[in-house]
Amino acid sequence: MEILIKAGQLILSLSILIVLHEFGHYLPARWFKTRVEKFYLFFDYKFSLFKKKIGDTEWGIGWIPLGGYVKISGMIDESMEKEQMALPPQPYEFRSKPAWQRLIIMIGGVVVNLIVGVIIYIGVLLVWGDDYVAPEDIANGYSFHEIYKEVGFVDGDDIVAINGEKIHDVGDINKTILLRGAEVVTITRAGEQLDIQLPEDIDMIAFKSSAMNGITPRFSSLIDSVIIDRPAKQAGLENGDRVIAVDGQEIAYWNEFTDAVQSRPNETLEIIVDRAGETVRAQVETDSLGTIGVSTAGLSESIVSHTDYTFMTAIPGGLKLGMNSLSDYVSQLKFLFTKKGAQSIGGFGAFGSLFSPTWDWHVFWMMTAFISIMLAFMNFLPIPALDGGHIMFLMYEIISGRKPNEKFMEYAQMAGIILLLGLLIYANGNDIVKAFF
Three-class secondary structure of residue 289 per DSSP: coil
Residue 241 is given by DSSP the state -
Last residue within a domain, chosen from 170, 185, 218: 218
Three-class secondary structure of residue 197 per DSSP: strand
Decide if 254 contacts 229 (C-beta within 8 A): no
Q: What is the pLDDT of residue 425?
A: 81
Number of domains the chain contains: 3
Last residue within a domain, chosen from 241, 266, 296: 296
Residue 206 and residue 231 share a domain: no
Q: What is the pLDDT of residue 84?
A: 65
Q: What is the pLDDT of residue 367?
A: 94
Rounded Cα–Cα distance for residues 123 and 315 (Å): 9
Bridge partner list, 186: 161, 195
Residue 43 within a domain: yes
> Which CATH number characterizes residue 251's domain?
2.30.42.10
User: For the segment 86-136, what is each residue's pLDDT rounded down to a tens digit?
Assistant: 677 788 888 889 999 999 999 999 999 999 999 999 999 999 999 888 888
Q: Which pTM does this prediction carry?
A: 0.84
Report the chain's mean pLDDT, rounded to a whole number: 87
Q: What is the pLDDT of residue 300?
A: 61
CA 324: distance to chain centroid?
12
Q: What is the pLDDT of residue 78?
A: 60
Residue 429 within a domain: yes
Q: Which domain, by its residues, includes 231?
A: 225-296
Q: Which residues of the chain have pLDDT under 50?
A: none
Report the candidate in 229, 295, 227 with the shortest Cα–Cα distance to residue 261: 295
Q: What is the pLDDT of residue 227?
A: 86
Residue 103 and residue 144 share a domain: no
Q: What is the pLDDT of residue 318?
A: 96
Buried b (16+ CB within 10 A) or exposed e, 65-103: bebbbbbbbbbbbbeeeeebbeeeeeebbbbebebebbb
Report the candidate in 3, 64, 11 with the shortest Cα–Cα distance to residue 371: 11
Q: What is the pLDDT of residue 150?
A: 92
Q: What is the pLDDT of residue 81?
A: 61
Q: How many helices and strands, by DSSP H and E, does the chain display?
A: 14, 16
Rounded Cα–Cα distance for residues 296 and 200 (Å): 32
Bridge partner list, 280: 273
Q: What residue type is assigned to position 417 of the chain?
A: I
CB 15: neighbour CB atoms within 10 A?
Answer: 15
424's enclosing H/E stretch is helix 406-436
Residue 302 within a domain: no
Residue 15 and residue 106 share a domain: yes
Rounded Cα–Cα distance for residues 275 and 238 (Å): 9
User: For the segment 275-299, what is each residue's pLDDT rounded down to a tens digit?
Assistant: 988 998 999 888 888 888 888 876 6
User: For the segment 3-44, what is each residue's pLDDT rounded down to a tens digit?
Assistant: 888 888 888 999 999 999 999 999 999 999 999 999 999 888
Neighbour order of strands in the sheet with 242-246: 249-250, 242-246, 268-275, 278-285
